[in-house]
Chain A
Amino acid sequence: MKSRRLIFQILLVLILIAIGGTMMVIGRGHTVYFDNKSLDYQGSTYASPYKIEIYQGSSAEGDALSKLYDGERASATQIGQKITVTLVITQEKGGDEADPVTYTIDLPYNMDGPIINLPAYLAGLPEEAYLSEFIPVITEDPDEEVPTGGDDMSLGDF
């Protein structure tokens, strides 16, 4: 009876660990940045198109996440290890829009804010070329924050 209980308890702990592990993988959040900027890689220049319309998801219906002109950046939040975007590309000003194409891009687990250079990605370059990490720059000395440990909380919040 005791050993049965112990097995049950160990099983329960293992199940909880497994659920926790799964949540860590499927729930990892990223702020994904999309760049429409020209890129030099191994001596070649990959020019940015005039405009890229980005739709989050597998269709170009509804409102676009952003319309990126040459040299611009957009961001989207994504939970999980992949992001699916549909791109509508206009190569030149006044030119025709290409048909929407859907891409699924892998997002590295250890990056909070991956930057995807779209011209490099569309040119089929390796991950090291199109992927970099967004690191926020602190430009000013932060004000010292004094932790407060008062004994009450706004009643209205309860």
Chain B
Amino acid sequence: MMRKEHAKLNPKRLLQDNSVPLMFVVICLICLPLAGYSPSYLLNELVTRMGRNTFLILSLLIPIMAGMGLNFGMTLGAMAGEIALILVADWQIWGIPGIVLAMIVSIPISILLGVFCGNMLNKAKGREMITSYFISFFMNGVYQLVVLFMMGPIIPIMHATLKLPRGYGIRNTVSLLNMRQQLDNLLAINVGGVKIPVLTFLIIGVLCLVIIWFRRTKLGQDMRAVAQDMEVARDAGINVDRTRIIAIVMSTVMAGFGMIIYLQNLGNFPTYNAHVQIGTFSIAALLVGGASVEKASIGNAFLGVILFHMMFILAPETGTTITGDSMIGEYFRTFVSYGVITVALIMYETKKRMIKSQTGHLLALAQKEEEERAK
């Protein structure tokens, strides 16, 4: 207990553990006066983006809890959400009922994709992140096959506004005008010129409570045990493979819901690439919030959304102020997104190697002592 408290109060350790969020705080503080945005504009943007993205980012927590690292396969859930939205848009179900129906329709698709992804990851234990990354690429091809060639002839699509002029396949952009911000506007309140989407935040709040509750359940404890040591967990009678599949399925279903919340806020989506980068950006946001490959909390998700999006909002205008070209800001935020993931992965590997070498060193010392004692 004392040791834990000491570790918490150690400023060097504190700085080391929170280096990424601190770096982003510094970047935001530098950009803030240069961008010259009014506080109400900034807050409005930030609150909108929090409502839009937090659910997606929270969907990453369960696989981390199960020791499967950052789930790049959340893209699969995003695809399920998009397919559900295309179908609901074709059925002409509007407003909140349309959003609820899309969520329900996305569940079986997400489960199916999640089970597939989970099984694949079980075959690639220890290399989950890279595997899930490539599964998302592979599934993107399948998604394009379904949306481009099967929607119309096999999956009935009735409306010409959705179909390509050739008669099958979905157009480049799907309009969700009849669902646009329905979730955000219901129960929304205005505080000092800042629109707060209360219902969206309530849904996010419920998900947070579910995650907290889930950690305490038997399955949640099993996932943590699997994350600690798979062999020990197996010896303790935990079905490791099944537990890991459940973690991925849960994450995929949540990502599907998150994508629907995200897209209803935007009001339309590019059919063939809306999901492609969603995993990367969500993971980057989580890492910016101070999470790591093996540890992430709800607090990390919220802090990550705030810092990452603050940078997203400020960077283009700051780029324009400094260089006269807003594209500099765009490039900056692009390389930061990818950079932060790279740094997190390097830090994870370095830490793992350090622990391994320390253990090896301790073992060697113990062996040496034993040999001396034997002499």
| A-to-B contact residues, CB < 8 Å | 16, 19-20, 22-24, 26-30, 77, 79, 112, 136, 138, 142-145, 147-153, 155-158
Contact = CB atoms under 8 A, between A and B. Distances in A.
A144 B171 CA distance: 10
Interface in B241-288: 266, 270-274, 276-278, 281
Contact of B270 (A16, A153, A155): A153
B178 A151 contact: no
Nearest to A29: B94
B95 to A, nearest CB: 5
Contact of B272 (A26, A28, A79, A147): A147
Given A23-B101, A143-B165, A158-B281, A28 B276 contact: no
Contact of B104 (A16, A26, A142): A16
B92 A157 contact: no
Contact of A145 (B165, B278, B316): B165
A112 B161 CA distance: 12
B334 to A, nearest CB: 6
Interface of B: 53, 91-98, 100-101, 104-105, 107, 140, 144, 148, 159-160, 164-166, 169-172, 178, 266, 270-274, 276-278, 281, 312, 316, 330, 333-334, 337
A144 B98 CA distance: 29
A149 B144 contact: yes
Contacts of B273: 148-153
For A138, A152, A155, A156, the residue with the greatest tally of chain B CB atoms inside 10 Å of its CB is A155
Contacts of A155: 281, 312, 330, 333-334, 337
B266 A79 contact: no
Nearest to A149: B272
Given A27-B96, A152-B277, A155-B312, A147 B107 contact: no
Contact of B97 (A26, A138, A148, A151): A26
A104 to B, nearest CB: 19
19 contacts: A16-B104, A16-B107, A20-B101, A27-B93, A27-B94, A27-B98, A29-B94, A77-B94, A79-B97, A136-B160, A145-B164, A147-B272, A150-B273, A151-B277, A152-B276, A153-B270, A153-B277, A155-B281, A155-B312
Nearest to B313: A156
B276 A158 contact: no
Contact of B165 (A16, A144, A158): A144
Nearest to B89: A29
Given A153-B273, A158-B53, A147 B172 contact: yes
Given A147-B148, A151-B273, A24 B165 contact: no
Question: Which of B169, B274, B277, B334 neighbours the largest number of chain A CB atoms within 10 Å of its CB?
Answer: B277
A29 B99 CA distance: 13
Given A23-B101, A150-B273, A158-B281, A145 B95 contact: no
Contact of B100 (A19, A79, A143, A147): A19
A28 to B, nearest CB: 6
A150 to B, nearest CB: 5
Given A28-B94, A79-B95, 4 more contacts: A20-B105, A27-B93, A138-B160, A145-B164
Contacts of B281: 155, 158
B92 A156 contact: no
A23 B104 contact: yes
Contacts of B95: 27, 29, 79
Nearest to A19: B104
